[in-house]
Structure formats: C-alpha cells, structure tokens
Amino acid sequence: MKKALVTGVTGQDGSYLSEFLLKRGYKVFALRRRTSMPIYVNVEHIKDQLEWIDGDLTDLASLIRAVQIADPDEIYNLAAQSFVGTSWNQPFATGEMTGLGVTNMLEAIRLIKPNARFYQASTSEMFGKVAEVPQRETTPFYPRSPYSAAKLYGHWMTINYRESFSMFACSGILFNHESPRRGLEFVTRKITNGVAKIKLGLQNELRLGNLDSKRDWGFAGDYVKAMWLMLQQDQPDDYVISTGETHSVREFVETAFSYVGLNWKSYVVQDERFMRPAEVDLLLGDCSKAEKKLGWKKSVDFRALVHMMVDHDLERLQVNEPV
C-alpha cells in the first residue's frame, strides 16, 4: 500500500486530492493545524479514513515528526495562507507559511526521507503582471502580491532542492481552480453564493471589486489528478495546469446570474474595499506540456463550472447546510 502525506487537507484541493488518493488505495496521512473551531466541512465524509498528524508548516520539528510517522512515498504540500486579499493585511505571516513553510517541508524530507516524491502547489499568480500571453512554464515571473512573492520563493526552493540534492520534487503551476468547496472569500464562490442567496430572497445585493480582471478558471477536481500524475513520471519536472480559456469576473457574474434567470446589473455593486493595491489583470495558461507528457486534460468547462457551483449553493442554502 502506497503512503502519502498531504498538507492542507481541509482546504478545497486537499479534500479532492485525499479522496482521489484513497480511491487509489493509498494510506493518507493528513497534517492538521490546531484551530479552536473544527474545520472539517470539506472532509467530513472521509475524515475517519485519514490518519491525522498534528503539525504546522512553520514548525520544522513538527514536520520532521510527521515525515517520521507517515514514512510517505509521496508528499503533497497544499497548505498555505492562500488568499491574495489577506496577504496584503498579513504579509509577514503569509511569507512564513506560504514561503518559508515550503523550505521547512523540503528540509524535513531531506533529513528523514530524501527519496520521497514531493509536490509543491505553485500558482499562476506568480506570473502576475504577465510578460506574455498565454503563460507557460518558460514565461518569466512578476509576482504582484505578498502571496505570490511567497509562492515564488517556494517554487524556486523546490527547484533548488531538486537540482542540489537530486530530490524528486515537482512544482505544479496551477491556474485558478474552483469548485463548490472553494472558500467563500474567493470571487467565484462569493459570486455563486451571492447569486443563490439573491435568488432565494436572502440577500439583495452583491458587493464586488474589479470586474475587469480575467482568469483561467478550471475545476479543482480535475486539477488534483494532475498533481498525482506529476509524481508518477520517471523524472521530476514543473508543469502548467490550466484550461486555455480566459474569462473576466464580469463574465462569471453574467453567467451565474443568467443561469438563475436574473440580470446581474440590478444586484452587483462595486465596492472599493474589494479592490487590490496591485492587480493581476489577465491570466491565461498554455498547458500543452502537461497534455503531452502527463496525458492530462480538463473535463469541466467554464459554463459547467459556474453552473455546478450555483447549483451547489442553491441546494446548500435550501437545506441549511454549513459552507
């Protein structure tokens, strides 16, 4: 039986990846950070099948202990302070968790289990003020937030440990990926949750920031498969994962409102509070390397994704389920 150690299991990607690995017969060890309130909404259904280990990315000793206990074949580092908006309010904590946390994990692996395979969750936000369209593995980076600067550090540390210590370390440069399990602060889920509330008469407006920015939005359930595929190859490498389509926030809004038969212009209010000090205007990924080498392909397109998320929020609010 293969063993995997996953960080960030209670988040969107961690929950999909854990399901995926359990289905393939893996024993899954989940690193868990202590919180005063439970945060198991995304993993309630598989909670008892996971082996939980207490630890924190900012605490090297706890990671050494986790690698010792799990003795994993594969390690997936999905934990982070992952919200760009918050990274402006907590730049240092974001740097520690999202950036230095990667180094802590790489060190723990190097010391305890150097032949384990490592996946680092890098991000299209590293392209930031983009140098070319579409963005691919060779596109220069230009991070535009404390979050993406921290992720870029983690990305390069992953490459450095691969090149310096011959570790099987891969970095997945994933473009935005969404699902009904996306955190409510991200624009996609904020929109679908808002649309559902407005449709059900629970809210009468939706306050948003910049409607002009464009993102390449895919389905998180498709993207976790790419993470796994990267670790099954003969050689470690870095890959862009994307849909190859870009849409504006405004288009997401239009698609979600029109799906429930409403005109978005009657409900959306622009609010300065949700504007960013620096914006990433346009992300569009070219994942032809992943398609060719990993045989990876998206299965959910933009419209289907928006509809899936709106359906989920409508259903959830009607039966009063938690997030």
Site for ligand GDP, rule CB under 6 A? 84-85, 125, 176, 185-188, 190, 208-210, 213, 215, 249, 274, 276, 279-280
CB of 159 to ligand GDP, least distance (A): 22
The three state secondary structure string of the chain is: CCEEEEECCCCHHHHHHHHHHHHCCCEEEEEECCCCCCCCCCCHHHHHHCEEEECCCCCHHHHHHHHHHHCCCEEEECCCCCCHHHHHHCHHHHHHHHHHHHHHHHHHHHHHCCCCEEEEEEEHHHHCCCCCCCECCCCCCCCCCHHHHHHHHHHHHHHHHHHHHCCEEEEEEECCEECCCCCCCCHHHHHHHHHHHHHCCCCCCEEECCCCCEECCEEHHHHHHHHHHHHCCCCCCEEEECCCCCEEHHHHHHHHHHHCCCCHHHCEEECHHHCCCCCCCECCECCHHHHHHCCCCCCCCHHHHHHHHHHHHHHHHHCCCCC
Nearer to ligand GDP, 67 or 305 (CB): 305
CB of 185 to ligand GDP, least distance (A): 6
Q: Which two tokens stand for residue 19?
A: 């399901």
Residue closer to ligand GDP (CB basis): 209 or 289: 209
Q: Judged by CB, which is closer to ligand GDP: 50, or 282?
A: 282
Give yes or no for a contact between 101 and 154, defined as CB atoms under 8 angstroms apart: yes
Nearest distance from residue 34's CB to ligand GDP, in Å?
Answer: 26
List 16, 74, 76, 125, catalytic entry: 125
Query: Catalytic residue among 147, 153, 161, 259, which?
Result: 147
Return the DSSP state at 74. E
Nearer to ligand GDP, 77 or 123 (CB): 123
- Which is nearer to ligand GDP, 279 or 291 (by Cβ)? 279
In whole angstroms, the minimum distance from the beta carbon of 112 to ligand GDP comes to: 32
Write down the least CB distance from residue 146 to ligand GDP, Å.
12
**From the candidates 10, 123, 139, 246, which is the catalytic residue?**
123
Look at residues 255, 248, 242 and name the one whose alpha carbon lies nearest to residue 310.
255
User: Catalytic site residue 279?
Assistant: no
Q: Is 147 a catalytic residue?
A: yes
- Of 55 and 146, the one with the shorter C-beta distance to ligand GDP is 146
Minimum Å gap between C-beta 279 and ligand GDP is 6
- Residue 107 among the catalytic residues: no
Any idea which residues carry the catalytic annotation? 123, 125, 147
